[in-house]
Chains A and B, each alone.
Chain A
């Protein structure tokens, strides 16, 4: 039983971590978030379904189309739900991003339909067994993708010119602007990248969770909890926190009760906010006087 719980927990945790990385992307650059990250996951899954399953395009083409659609959506979110309020210094983006997510969900209901649909994948047909614990091969892709994407974002931020620009914007927007960095463009890029991450998560999760307009809501919420736990500023912290959160959920559900699962999970988040608000992997912010 314990092995099955550990395996299930890790699979679940990598799912949360993967989605949570999207929160990190925009936070690191603009100190704003797309609260509808879960809806972008859904959008990715729905677009992939439309292109691959309904229209019958090959998977590779479908993935490219999905990522392009996700990036475009990320730009839309930034342009209409974040930038107008962000530049005015107002925290209304909190609500406007949620509102945009609700709109996307309802558009999906009208166009895609309300029923959950299957996204066929040969990797999600039959579980394989490791030490007696079952896991779908598709689930093994998730931690892999999580680690690769985490590494990728780190390389991008630290090793590329454009990534460094984004980092500079995160450090000090005004100074970055004075240094000739196009700040609005950097923020828009971060939103597009964040949406692409969510789109990747959507494609990977579609065979496991099935595709439906509401599939992303709960995942998005838990991924946010994971992002807080891991530290919004730390990609590595988020991936580790994802695994931890998944394990805690599986173990609490297995040994205590299913009802206690959400209570313990979100209590952890509150505890973290009290004790170490910058998260597991984040750095204590230096106060500048």
Chain B
């Protein structure tokens, strides 16, 4: 008797599930992250993961998408290696069945993955790598989107600041000796040329170089009146330390590599006055989303405050990117890659995000949601990042 009733209940539950009455049975929508989460750039991958997780929890707390389907994040490590990047791109789509993928820091990896997204009809949203031709890749339809900076736009922004705000006409370029440095050498040279200005010197350095004084001396001898810097925090720190050693009072205008909170720790008061570009800053007054993200960073990841949030742009970009993809899935009424891509390109809903309010962020021609107009010039001051007005 007892056994029969158990079976009856089970059968009833089964019928209900088949009829779709029990909502908990819905499969989740899976989203991928393909980024460097180990090695020297691991902090960037971690920052992106934080931004994605915070936004994902918000969406799930609202009840998920497409009538109750929860979002789920699948993370794969590209190790900063393009070959590995291609392998995990396939794995995410073919094995893990993700609806869309978010990308990491390395331009080289992102470029290698472009054909894969196209072939597998899976939308990809870059959250960091700034290489210009990642989004401008010549593919039709283009499955690659970006909520991050774009080197070409950044260079335009930095050049305008040096020329118009600082009124400098003799720039010296100081770049890291990598593909990223190379890409910015091209951009900076191009945008300075637009204004009839030619750099008085172009100097490079390697990762972990201990002393930058020879490079700075060469720029100084060349008569530079502003240094355009493309460096990450450790090398950027050595640059300002060497600059003090050389005894050269010159403004530094920098790409966003020195944005990590530790730059100030590494340089002390020497960092004061160094200006650089950001897509977003957790310092200063925050909008409602900023408050919420900071609180989540604190509660979930033990981040003590904005100065403790390493690689903050990764978190901010990823947060907005996930919300934009969520809106696209709702609009497409499907988690099918091609449909989500079409929806992204023609997003109807307005999204009041962390970085800005997005109104039709992407078009068939424009796959960068953020452009020069959305960037923010900030300055290091007493160990804090303050917007430049």
Q: CB of A11 within 8 A of chain B?
A: yes
For residue B245, which residues in chain A have a CB less than 8 angstroms away from its CB?
4, 8, 127, 134-136
Nearest-CB distance from A250 to chain B (Å)? 5
Nearest-CB distance from A29 to chain B (Å)? 29
Give the complex CA separation of A219 and B215 in angstroms: 19
Per-position contact with A for B11-43: 1 when CB-CB < 8 Å, else 0?
A: 000000000000000000000000000111011
Give the complex CA separation of A129 and B211 in angstroms: 16
Give the complex CA separation of A169 and B265 in angstroms: 47
- Is there an interface contact between B246 and A4, defined as CB atoms closer than 8 Å? yes
Interface residues of B in 309-340 (CB under 8 A from A): 310
The SS class assigned to the B binding surface is helix
The SS class assigned to the A binding surface is helix
Interface residues of A in 205-238 (CB under 8 A from B): 208-210, 212, 214-215, 217-219
Give the complex CA separation of A33 and B180 in angstroms: 36
**Contact (A118, B247) CB under 8 Å given A1-B221, A15-B210:** no
**Contact (A258, B214) CB under 8 Å given A114-B40, A116-B237, A118-B266:** yes
Give the complex CA separation of A109 and B210 in angstroms: 20
Nearest-CB distance from A46 to chain B (Å)? 15
Q: List 6 A-B contacts (CB under 8 A).
A: A8-B242, A114-B40, A219-B210, A250-B211, A253-B218, A254-B217
Q: CB of B5 within 8 A of chain A?
A: no
Q: Which of B62-70, B200-208, B249-257, B370-378 contacts A (4 or more CB under 8 A)?
A: B200-208
Total number of residue pairs linking A and B with CB closer than 8 Å: 98
**Contact (A134, B40) CB under 8 Å given A118-B266, A210-B266, A258-B205:** no
- Is there an interface contact between A254 and B262, defined as CB atoms closer than 8 Å? no
Nearest-CB distance from A16 to chain B (Å)? 10
What is the interface of chain A, defined by CB distance below 8 A to chain B?
A: 1, 4-5, 8, 11-12, 15, 109, 114-118, 125-127, 129, 132, 134-136, 208-210, 212, 214-215, 217-219, 249-250, 253-254, 258-259, 261-262
Give the complex CA separation of A233 and B326 in angstroms: 65
Give the complex CA separation of A214 and B41 in angstroms: 11
What is the interface of chain B, defined by CB distance below 8 A to chain A?
A: 38-40, 42-43, 177, 203-211, 213-215, 217-218, 221, 233-234, 237-238, 241-242, 244-247, 260, 262, 265-268, 310
Given contacts A134-B213, A214-B207, A261-B214, 4 further A-B contacts (CB under 8 A): A116-B234, A136-B245, A214-B208, A218-B209
- Is there an interface contact between A134 and B246, defined as CB atoms closer than 8 Å? yes
Residue of B nearest to A209 (CB): B210
For residue B238, which residues in chain A have a CB less than 8 angstroms away from its CB?
209
Nearest-CB distance from B297 to chain A (Å)? 16
The 9 A-B residue pairs whose C-beta atoms are closest, nearest first, are A253-B214, A134-B245, A254-B214, A116-B234, A218-B208, A127-B245, A118-B265, A8-B213, A118-B266
Give the complex CA separation of A116 and B74 in angstroms: 28
Give the complex CA separation of A258 and B239 in angstroms: 14
Nearest-CB distance from B256 to chain A (Å)? 16
- Is there an interface contact between B244 and A127, defined as CB atoms closer than 8 Å? yes
Give the complex CA separation of A29 and B63 in angstroms: 69
Nearest-CB distance from B23 to chain A (Å)? 41
Give the complex CA separation of A115 and B309 in angstroms: 12
Give the complex CA separation of A118 and B40 in angstroms: 17
Residue of B nearest to A208 (CB): B210
- Is there an interface contact between A116 and B214, defined as CB atoms closer than 8 Å? no
Nearest-CB distance from B243 to chain A (Å)? 9
For residue A135, which residues in chain B have a CB less than 8 angstroms away from its CB?
245
Give the complex CA separation of A212 and B204 in angstroms: 22
- Is there an interface contact between A4 and B210, defined as CB atoms closer than 8 Å? no
Nearest-CB distance from B311 to chain A (Å)? 9
Q: Which of A1, A8, A116, A210 contacts B211 (CB 8 A)?
A: A8
